[in-house]
Amino acid sequence: MRKVLFLDRDGVINKDVSYLYKIEDLQWVDGAKEALKLAYDAGYDLIVVTNQSGVARGYYKESDVQILHDYMGNELDKAGAPILRFYYCPHHKDGTVERYAVDCDCRKPKPGMLLQAIKEYNVDPSESFLIGDNVRDVESAEAAGVKGYLFTGTDLLSFMKIILN
């Protein structure tokens, strides 16, 4: 079975600039690439789980999310921190785009994205953990039997070193 580091995206890997979808607006969190490499080198596969209600709100499209994730994935490959999979939830119950305006099972704090990953990639929840910058991230992890850590600082590398020790 795999051990996985689950990562929230906005506020953990990239700075949370609110409804990010353009590559030109992407700013990496300090130490993020190095932190992900450290976890990868320690034997964790890296999986992103991100709420992207901007799709349901009509701010951007799923194709925009995918283009951004392809770019981020390439940059992280180059940094020695390959992302196994990006999961995203495009839904929001109050969305304006009808087909995404549902009360889904994947929007955190619900554990749907983690549960799907655990099943698809044969993940051992007890050997895995999540880093998020919002309590709902930690709640979604705990609901899936995964330990969650709340990142509230600005340097992900120093945070990761503490967790891995």
Which residues of the chain form contacts with Mg ion (CB under 5 A)? 8, 10-11, 133
Instruction: Answer yes or no whether residue 89 interacts with Zn ion by CB under 5 A.
Output: yes
CB of 139 to Mg ion, least distance (A): 13
Binding-site member from 106, 131, 144, 146 for Zn ion (CB under 5 A) = 106
Instruction: Answer yes or no whether residue 108 interacts with Zn ion by CB under 5 A.
Output: no
Nearest to Zn ion of 9, 107 (CB atom): 107
Among residues 89, 85, 160, 74, the alpha carbon closest in space to that of 118 is found at 85
CB of 109 to Mg ion, least distance (A): 12
Instruction: Answer yes or no whether residue 104 interacts with Zn ion by CB under 5 A.
Output: yes
Asked if 2 contacts 43 with a C-beta cutoff of 8 angstroms, the reply is no
Nearest to Zn ion of 39, 52 (CB atom): 52
**Strand 147-150's sheet: what is its strand order?**
83-89, 45-51, 4-7, 129-132, 147-150
DSSP string of 66-98, one letter each residue: HHHHHHHHHHHHHTT--EEEEEEE---TT-SSG
Count residues near Zn ion (CB under 5 A). 5
Site for Zn ion in 2-41 (CB under 5 A): none
Instruction: Answer yes or no whether residue 91 interacts with Zn ion by CB under 5 A.
Output: yes
By CB under 5 A, which span of 5-13, 107-115, 122-130, 151-159 interacts with Zn ion? 107-115
Beta strand 129-132 with 45-51 is unpaired
How many whole angstroms separate alpha carbon 135 and alpha carbon 140?
9
Structure tokens at 136: 């709902």
List contacts with Zn ion (CB under 5 A): 89, 91, 104, 106-107
